[in-house]
C-alpha cells in the first residue's frame, strides 16, 4: 500500500517479538498476526521463526528504509514457492 513507515514498524515489532520468545506458543500468543498478515502474503506457521527468516525480515526493513518496496516480483515468487 506504500505505507513504508507502517511496514517498518510492523516488521520491527515482529523481529523483536521473535527474538524475545523461546517457543512458538509464546510467539503466537503475543503477536496479533491477523493485523500483520492482513494481505495474506505471509504464512506464519505455529513455530518460532528461524534465524534465516528473521534475517530476511531485517533485509526487508533495510530496503524499506531506503524508500523502496522489497516485494519485487522475484521476491514474491520466492515467498509463494517457499524458497
SS (H, E, C) the chain: CCCHHHHHHHHHHHHHHHHHCCCHHHHHHHCCHHHHCCCCCCCCCCCCCCHHHHHHHHHHHHHHHCCCCCCCHHHHHHHHHCC
Which residue is associated with the grid cell 515468487? 77
Please report, in tens digits, the pLDDT of each residue of the chain (83 residues total): 789 999 999 999 888 888 886 655 555 555 555 445 444 545 555 567 788 889 999 999 999 999 999 999 999 998 888 76
Task: Match 522475484 to its residue by C-alpha cell.
Answer: 74
Cell digits of residue 62 = 533495510
Stated pTM of the model:
0.68
Amino acid at each position: 500500500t506504500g505505507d513504508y513507515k507502517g511496514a517498518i514498524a510492523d516488521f520491527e515489532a515482529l523481529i523483536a517479538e521473535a527474538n524475545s520468545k523461546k517457543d512458538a506458543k509464546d510467539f503466537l500468543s503475543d503477536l496479533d498476526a491477523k493485523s500483520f498478515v492482513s494481505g495474506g502474503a505471509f504464512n506464519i506457521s505455529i513455530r518460532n521463526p528461524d534465524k534465516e527468516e528473521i534475517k530476511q525480515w531485517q533485509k526487508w526493513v533495510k530496503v524499506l528504509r531506503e524508500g523502496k518496496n522489497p516485494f519485487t516480483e522475484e521476491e514474491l515468487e520466492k515467498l509463494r514457492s517457499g524458497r
